[in-house]
């Protein structure tokens, strides 16, 4: 069986500018990947390349063996790429529940299961999108992606700017998605140790290229290498 998603020698960017070079990796169903690196090295660009929002200069992107690069963004969402962008994009005039129901597609994830995963969203289900805290917005952004019943979840810095207690809650949710639900995920995170503790594999980017690839546990255990690869100093 082909891998769920395969990148082969992908170079991509914005217009003529190339910000990702020679990126190759593949994920099978149920894999979990931490995508790490310092600011501006191309992590978000890699996720948006999967969603079709950059210019693909060369290389190939395959989805269950088929050419993904041919599909516009909305079709990539429809075939099962669930993207949780950094900006969250809530609709101020929709309630929490409306955010979830407008995107719902058939599959194991439905309102009941979402509310079981995020009791806080159930409590807030009649609140408008603009009346939510940052943490609640992030929960809703993840919940909304799950309601599309994706085959892969692309999470762009889900913990960014959130209070420690909310980070803890999201860690519990992501751990359950990865370990119990077998969800395929790519997590971009500045909190490298946290992302490594949630995932099985890790890739580190520097200036648009892969500079390290290993299992997450061994990178987590190697403080010196981790500091060298991702620390700001
Ligand atoms: N829309 C855009 N148009 C042009 N260049 C862009 C655009 N978005 C990002 N870039 C450039 O692409 C490079 C990679 O940026 P990207 O946001 O992917 O990095 P990142 O690793 O996600 O960083 P951060 O952790 O700060 O979000 C940077 O040099 C950035 O300036």
Give me the interface pTM, i.e. the ipTM: 0.95
pLDDT band at residue 226, thresholds of 50, 70 and 90?
Answer: very high
pLDDT, residue 86, reads 86
Asked, for residue 115, whether it belongs to a domain, the answer is no
Q: Quick check: CB of 42 below 6 Å from ligand 1?
A: yes
User: Does residue 19 have its Cβ closer than 6 Å to ligand 1?
Assistant: yes
In a domain, 97, yes or no: no
List the single range of 49-63, 64-78, 79-93 with lowest mean pLDDT: 79-93
Rounded to the nearest whole angstrom, what is the distance from the C-alpha of residue 58 to the centroid of ligand 1?
A: 19
For residues 220-224, give the mean pLDDT.
94
What would the pLDDT profile of 59-76 be if each residue is shown by its tens digit? Answer: 999 999 999 999 999 999
Mean pLDDT of the chain: 94
- Domain membership of residue 173 (yes or no) is no
Residue with CA closest to ligand 1 atom 30: 40
Q: Is residue 135 part of a domain?
A: no
- Range 55-70 burial, b when 16+ CB lie within 10 A, else e: ebeebebbbeeeebee
pLDDT at 232: 62
Q: What is the pLDDT of residues 12-27, one digit of tens each?
A: 999 999 999 999 999 9
Range of the domain at 208: 1-80+152-157+183-233
The predicted-structure confidence for 104-159, as pLDDT tens digits, reads as follows 999 999 999 999 999 999 999 999 888 899 999 999 999 999 999 999 999 999 99
Question: Residue 16 falls within a domain, yes or no?
Answer: yes
Pocket test for ligand 1, best of 11, 14, 19, 46 (most atoms within 8 A of CB): 19
37 lines ligand 1 (CB under 6 A): yes
Residue 80 has pLDDT above 90, yes or no: yes
Q: What is the pLDDT of residue 211?
A: 97
Q: How many domains does the chain have?
A: 1
Instruction: Please name the residue whose Cα sits nearest to atom 1 of ligand 1.
Output: 14
CA dihedral 106, 112, 117, 121 (to 10 degrees): 110
Q: Is the CB of 87 under 6 A from ligand 1?
A: no
Q: Does ligand 1 have an atom closer than 6 angstroms to the CB of 93?
A: no
Structure confidence at residue 182 (pLDDT): 93
Alpha-carbon distance values, 187 to 31, 141, 200, 210, 230 (Å): 11, 14, 11, 15, 15
The pLDDT value given to residue 142: 96
Each residue's pLDDT tens digit, 146-193: 999 999 999 999 999 899 999 999 999 999 999 999 999 999 998 999
Question: Has residue 204 been placed in a domain?
Answer: yes
Report in angstroms the alpha-carbon separations of 45 from 35, 54, 102, 190, 205: 11, 7, 27, 15, 11
| CATH number, domain containing residue 6 | 3.40.50.300
Q: Which of 11, 38, 40 to probe ligand 1 with, by most ligand atoms within 8 A of CB?
A: 40
Spacing, Cα 51 to ligand 1 middle (Å): 15
Tell me the mean pLDDT in the region 214-223.
96
User: Which atom of ligand 1 is least distant from the CA of 208?
Assistant: 14
Name the residue of 16, 38, 41 whose CB sits within 8 Å of the most ligand 1 atoms, as the mutation to test its pocket.
41
Look at residue 145 and tell me if it is in a domain.
Answer: no
Residue 103 lies in a domain: no
User: Taking the complete model, does pTM exceed 0.90, yes or no?
Assistant: yes
């Amino acid at each position: 069986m082909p891998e769920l998603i395969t990148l082969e020698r992908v170079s991509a960017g914005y217009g003529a500018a190339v910000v990702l070079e020679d990126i190759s990796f593949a994920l099978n169903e149920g894999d979990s990947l931490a995508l790490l690196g310092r600011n501006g090295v191309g992590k978000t660009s890699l996720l948006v390349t999967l969603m079709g929002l950059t210019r693909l200069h060369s290389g190939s992107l395959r989805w269950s063996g088929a050419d993904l690069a041919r599909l516009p963004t909305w079709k990539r969402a429809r075939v099962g790429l669930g993207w949780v962008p950094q900006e969250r994009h809530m609709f101020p005039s929709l309630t929490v529940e409306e955010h979830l129901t407008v995107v719902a597609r058939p599959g194991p994830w439905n309102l009941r299961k979402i509310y079981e995963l995020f009791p806080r969203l159930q409590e807030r289900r009649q609140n408008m999108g603009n009346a939510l805290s940052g943490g609640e917005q992030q929960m809703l952004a993840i919940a909304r992606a799950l309601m599309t019943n994706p085959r892969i979840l692309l999470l762009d810095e889900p913990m960014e700017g959130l209070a420690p207690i909310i980070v803890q809650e999201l860690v519990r949710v992501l751990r359950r998605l990865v370990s119990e639900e077998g969800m395929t995920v790519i997590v971009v995170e500045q909190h490298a140790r946290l992302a490594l503790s949630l995932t099985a594999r890790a890739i580190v980017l520097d200036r648009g290229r892969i500079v390290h690839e290993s299992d997450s546990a061994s990178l987590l255990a190697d403080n010196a290498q981790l500091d060298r690869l991702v620390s700001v100093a």
